[in-house]
Chain A
Amino acid sequence: MSQLKALYEELGRTFYSKQCDLNKCTALLSKLKIGLIEAGLLLPQGNVNLGDLVVARDILEIGAFVSIRSRDVPSFDRYFAQLQTFYVDYSESLPASKREYAIRGLNLIRLLTQNRIADFHTTLESLDADVIAENPFIRHPVNLERWLMEGSYSKVWNAREEAPAEEYKFFVDSLMGTIRNEIASCEEAAYESLPLKDAATLLFFPNQSELLKFAQQRGWEVDLTGGTITFKRKSEEKIEIPKQRLISASLAYARELEQIV
């Protein structure tokens, strides 16, 4: 136990110092986790000393932040799952953690960037309505989701700098990737052609070369002399009659009718 305490203090020092040494943190964390398991605190059961639980929670929270900073999302996922026990089952006996909502918010953003909207809503449902409306850490991902869903992409773009915590910015890049692809698919459907300059603004590209690279990825026809992008119209493709499906549907009706009579 004393060894665990020394490690915990060292982790705190390393984590809160100006130049946070992520590698050292990770190494300390894996030692601490073994210690927690030995002390029966990683997945606490029954009556455990509350002070110990707070320490365990603190360690896991630091672990969650460290994994975000080192861009290790699966590891964040594991820490978050372990923290759930402390946030949900011990919510009444433990003093509330200051970082709880920051971590919950990060988890929501993570779900959003991975496009796991169903999980996003399931998780959101477990929070109180006033927390969703008031808490800045939660409100941020909730707003992002709403704007993404209704298509106000420019709001998402403008909100990227308004992240309530430093760690949120780690997700900005992948989020921007997501919305660019969204916008691109919308443009393909909605426009016949688009001037290069406007396309760059719509897709939030600062210069043309990035746009050209992106256009190449999506297979757009770029007319450099005229300065326009032309999209292939899907509707011009010949509509095929789904024979297979129609046949199987008719056969199913016949079978059902036979059963009735």
Chain B
Amino acid sequence: MPDVEMTTTEEKKPENKEEEQPAPQPISPAAEIKNNVALIERAVSTIEPRFTQRVLRTLTTLRKKLTAGVLRSAIESIFVKDNALKSSLLAWLPEASADEVSMEIDSTTKSGADNAKPIPEAEMYIRLLLIHFLLAEEDTQEKALELANETAEKMQALNRRSMDAIAAKIWFAVDRAYELAGEVADARPMFLAAQRTAALRHDDSAQAALLNCLLRSYVSNNLYDQAAKLVSKTTFPTSASNAQLSRYHYYLGRIRAVQLDYSGAHTHLQQAIRRAPPPKVAPGFYQAVNKMFVVVELLMGDIPDRSLFRHPVLEKALKAYFDIVKAVRTGSLSEFQTTFNTHAEQFEEDSTHTLILRLRQNVIKTGIRRLSLSYSRISLRDICVKLHLDSEEDAEYIVGKAIRDGVIDAKIVHDKGWMECGTQGGGYGPEVSEAFGKRIAFCLDLHNQSAMRYPLNAHRKELLAAEGAREREKELAKEIQDGDLDEDDLGPDF
């Protein structure tokens, strides 16, 4: 599922419409980078992470516009003086044609003269763009890995809180670089060390990104044991962005499903779907989560909604799962087996293969339940024939187990060799309140989680405003005083 991860973290939701004012006329990517750098500088000088967030939100769209020329001119304009740093950054870019460079530089050098010494955050931002640029081309991926390693090292040495948001993005890029190079396992010790450092520095955004990178690397290598241990030993920062939280829930859901904790998996996958970016923006992630969700629902003995399979984004991707749902619903083992065999390749690709194999018993249970509902008395031989079981003996054990597990309300009369089905319960037992309680809890949870959110540090702005007002007041008072003095001073002369 290579496209899944790409789309998850890169999606940017315009949380604040005001900030997303579209530029009146399209500005050149190089100028956009320059503006972004200015914004980052402002964020650092005013200690206001909001500006950095705004810059990073444009990363996805900007990434698609990156070319060697754009990056070159951006670097030229930001780093005015020729120094080692500038040349080291430029060295990563392939040689560009001369006219392209000169044309872009002319327009930007003058305006860039005021910030002669860019802050480290700006450098990191440029490096981030560079990594993404190098990753886009297959033959420069090796270089990207090299740059990613160097950047990660430098970033950790700098240890600046104002860099956290950018750092999170860089970690993701580093992970991506390792993955494309096929060396995910080698990166794990580095990520684990970085995660510890991030936790100690209370660097929430980097911690969230790193945890997800680690989980992803474990899960993709089927190391569920290690993944589960990592989850139990760490706490996911609550202030992490929705996209990261959604990914985290997705991985948790997968781990829990493998561990047979289906209700846990169900909750996590539901959270992942709810927090996921809109399906159109990140279809890969949405499809992957829903695939798992369908399988887990089936394993829990529920049948997913039909409407889910009509969703425009999901319809095609979930075709195989739809067929499996149909087979489980009819409770036919043979149909289940043929469906499974026809789509085996896709299940293996989605790594839901073993989970779906576990469904076999659910198919049998559904079959027995259907029989128990339609017949008041049925011989074990007929059960055996209808469910395609191997022997009557097996049928007896299977029915016995179904009764014990509470799947059906029936009893077996051994001498006569039949199953007698009890009447359905009146539906007024304590289990009704339990079912209600579950639904109410779900609604309350939904309400609590979608409650109003306030922007981080919003109160600071008000404080600042209040402080400003007080300052002005003071000034006014002083001016009045001064004025008074002036008049007093001047008074006698007149």
Residues of A that sit less than 8 Å from B by CB: 88, 117-118, 121-127, 129, 132, 146, 149-155, 182-183, 185-192, 194-195, 198, 202, 239, 241-242, 246, 249, 253, 256, 259-260
Q: Are B400 and A186 in contact (CB under 8 A)?
A: yes
User: Which of A124, A183, A189, A249 gathers the greatest number of chain B CB atoms within 10 Å?
Assistant: A189
Task: Report how many A-B pairs have Cβ atoms within 8 Å.
Answer: 106
- Minimum CB distance partner of A249 in chain B: B437
- Chain B residue numbers with a CB within 8 Å of A249 are 433, 437
Q: Are B414 and A191 in contact (CB under 8 A)?
A: yes
Q: Are A121 and B258 in contact (CB under 8 A)?
A: yes
User: Which of A146, A186, A239 gathers the greatest number of chain B CB atoms within 10 Å?
Assistant: A186
Q: How far apart sit A129 and B352, CA to CA, in the bound complex (Å)?
A: 11
- Minimum CB distance partner of B422 in chain A: A235
- Chain B residue numbers with a CB within 8 Å of A188 are 404
Query: Is there a chain A Cβ closer than 8 Å to B397's Cβ?
Result: yes
Of residues 365 through 416 on chain B, the ones whose CB sits less than 8 Å from some CB of chain A are 389-391, 393-394, 396-404, 410-412, 414-415
Q: How far apart sit A59 and B198, CA to CA, in the bound complex (Å)?
A: 41
Q: Are A153 and B397 in contact (CB under 8 A)?
A: yes
B359 to chain A, nearest CB (A): 11
The 4 closest A-B pairs by CB, nearest first: A151-B401, A186-B400, A189-B404, A151-B398
Q: Are B225 and A152 in contact (CB under 8 A)?
A: no
Query: Is there a chain A Cβ closer than 8 Å to B354's Cβ?
Result: yes
- Choose among A118, A194, A253 the residue that contacts B440 (Cβ–Cβ < 8 A): A253
Query: Is there a chain A Cβ closer than 8 Å to B224's Cβ?
Result: yes
Known pairs A121-B259, A190-B403, A242-B430; list 17 more (Cβ under 8 Å): A117-B260, A121-B354, A125-B258, A126-B223, A146-B360, A150-B360, A150-B361, A151-B398, A152-B390, A152-B398, A154-B391, A186-B397, A186-B403, A187-B400, A189-B400, A190-B410, A190-B412
- Chain A residue numbers with a CB within 8 Å of B153 are none
Q: Are A154 and B258 in contact (CB under 8 A)?
A: no
Q: Are B260 and A121 in contact (CB under 8 A)?
A: yes
B13 to chain A, nearest CB (A): 26
- Choose among B225, B389, B437 the residue that contacts A122 (Cβ–Cβ < 8 A): B225
Chain B, residues 337-371, CB within 8 Å of chain A (1/0): the string is: 00000000000100001100110110010000000
- Chain A residue numbers with a CB within 8 Å of B222 are 125-127
Q: How far apart sit A90 and B430, CA to CA, in the bound complex (Å)?
A: 55
- Chain A residue numbers with a CB within 8 Å of B430 are 239, 241-242, 246
Chain B, residues 213-226, CB within 8 Å of chain A (1/0): the string is: 00000000011110
Instruction: Please tell me the number of chain B residues within 8 Å of chain A, measured between CB atoms.
Output: 44
- Choose among A127, A183, A198, A259 the residue that contacts B400 (Cβ–Cβ < 8 A): A183
- Chain B residue numbers with a CB within 8 Å of A256 are 444
Given contacts A191-B414, A249-B433, contact A150 B398 (CB under 8 A): yes
Q: How far apart sit A127 and B402, CA to CA, in the bound complex (Å)?
A: 30
Q: How far apart sit A39 and B69, CA to CA, in the bound complex (Å)?
A: 56
Query: Is there a chain A Cβ closer than 8 Å to B199's Cβ?
Result: no
Q: Give 17 CB contacts A-B under 8 Å.
A: A88-B223, A121-B259, A122-B258, A123-B225, A125-B258, A126-B222, A129-B354, A149-B358, A150-B398, A151-B400, A154-B394, A155-B390, A186-B397, A189-B403, A190-B399, A198-B414, A239-B429
- Chain B residue numbers with a CB within 8 Å of A132 are 354
| Interface residue SS majority, chain A | helix
Q: Are A125 and B354 in contact (CB under 8 A)?
A: yes
Q: Are B348 and A129 in contact (CB under 8 A)?
A: yes
- Chain B residue numbers with a CB within 8 Å of A117 are 260
Residues of B that sit less than 8 Å from A by CB: 222-225, 228, 258-261, 348, 353-354, 357-358, 360-361, 364, 389-391, 393-394, 396-404, 410-412, 414-415, 429-430, 433, 437, 440, 444, 447-448
- Choose among A125, A129, A194, A198 the residue that contacts B224 (Cβ–Cβ < 8 A): A125
- Chain A residue numbers with a CB within 8 Å of B260 are 117-118, 121
Q: Are A246 and B433 in contact (CB under 8 A)?
A: yes
- Chain B residue numbers with a CB within 8 Å of A202 are 396-397
User: Which of A146, A150, A202 gathers the greatest number of chain B CB atoms within 10 Å?
Assistant: A150
Q: Are A122 and B224 in contact (CB under 8 A)?
A: yes
B229 to chain A, nearest CB (A): 11
Q: Are B225 and A186 in contact (CB under 8 A)?
A: no
A112 to chain B, nearest CB (A): 13
Q: Are B403 and A194 in contact (CB under 8 A)?
A: no
Q: Are B401 and A195 in contact (CB under 8 A)?
A: no
Q: How far apart sit A249 and B260, CA to CA, in the bound complex (Å)?
A: 27
Given contacts A125-B354, A152-B390, contact A192 B411 (CB under 8 A): yes
Q: How far apart sit A51 and B394, CA to CA, in the bound complex (Å)?
A: 50
Q: How far apart sit A129 and B351, CA to CA, in the bound complex (Å)?
A: 10
User: Which of A125, A126, A189 gathers the greatest number of chain B CB atoms within 10 Å?
Assistant: A125
Q: How far apart sit A99 and B339, CA to CA, in the bound complex (Å)?
A: 35
Given contacts A129-B354, A150-B364, A190-B404, contact A155 B261 (CB under 8 A): no
- Chain B residue numbers with a CB within 8 Å of A190 are 399-400, 403-404, 410-412
- Minimum CB distance partner of B402 in chain A: A151
- Minimum CB distance partner of A185 in chain B: B404
- Chain B residue numbers with a CB within 8 Å of A155 are 390, 394
Q: Are A183 and B360 in contact (CB under 8 A)?
A: no
Q: How far apart sit A124 and B355, CA to CA, in the bound complex (Å)?
A: 11
A178 to chain B, nearest CB (A): 14
- Choose among B225, B391, B402, B447 the residue that contacts A126 (Cβ–Cβ < 8 A): B225
Given contacts A152-B390, A155-B394, contact A124 B354 (CB under 8 A): yes
- Chain A residue numbers with a CB within 8 Å of B403 are 186, 189-190
Q: How far apart sit A187 and B412, CA to CA, in the bound complex (Å)?
A: 9
B491 to chain A, nearest CB (A): 65
- Minimum CB distance partner of A147 in chain B: B394
